[in-house]
């Protein structure tokens, strides 16, 4: 009786192993068939290569000018910020008066 169960288990294991090998070895089925038609009217167009950009004759002059322009803009921005801060200090000083805890002074 024991030998019969052994042979049944061996046959089942062999069948499972062969089935798995067949499933893994089978080629993959196509997911969808594709069909396309290409239509062309006229001759093929050859587009020219994009232009090559180079620095130009006065590249470094333009770079110096741009650097100076940005520095001047940054300086003007700093001056505007300082003027705004001075104005805010003036407003606060005149809104609250000499005593910063007197919240309703001058209203």
Q: Does a structural domain hold residue 25?
A: no
Sequence-ordered list of residues with C-beta below 8 angstroms from that of 96, at least 6 positions apart, any chain: 102, 103, 105, 106
* pLDDT the model gives residue 83: 97
Q: Does a structural domain hold residue 24?
A: no
* Helix, strand, coil tally for the chain in percent (to 5): 60, 0, 40
* pLDDT the model gives residue 55: 75
Q: pLDDT (tens digit, 9 = 90+) per residue, 3-36?
A: 687 888 788 888 877 777 766 776 776 666 666 7
Write out the residue range of the structural domain in which residue 90 sits.
72-107
More reliable by pLDDT, 41 or 61:
61
Q: pLDDT (tens digit, 9 = 90+) per residue, 45-97?
A: 778 877 777 777 888 899 999 999 999 999 999 999 999 999 998 888 777 66
Structural domains counted in the chain:
1
Q: Which residue has the tokens 């520095």?
A: 71
* pLDDT the model gives residue 8: 82
Q: Does a structural domain hold residue 5?
A: no
């Amino acid at each position: 009786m024991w030998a019969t169960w052994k042979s049944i288990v061996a046959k089942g294991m062999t069948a499972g192993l062969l089935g798995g090998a067949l499933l893994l070895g089978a080629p993959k089925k196509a997911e969808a068939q594709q069909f396309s038609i290409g239509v062309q009217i006229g001759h093929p167009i050859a587009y020219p290569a994009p232009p090559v950009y180079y620095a130009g004759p006065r590249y470094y002059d333009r770079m110096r000018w741009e650097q100076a322009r940005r520095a001047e803009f940054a300086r003007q921005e700093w001056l505007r910020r300082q003027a705004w801060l001075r104005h805010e200090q003036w407003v606060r000083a005149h809104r609250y008066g000499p005593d910063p805890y007197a919240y309703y002074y001058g209203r």
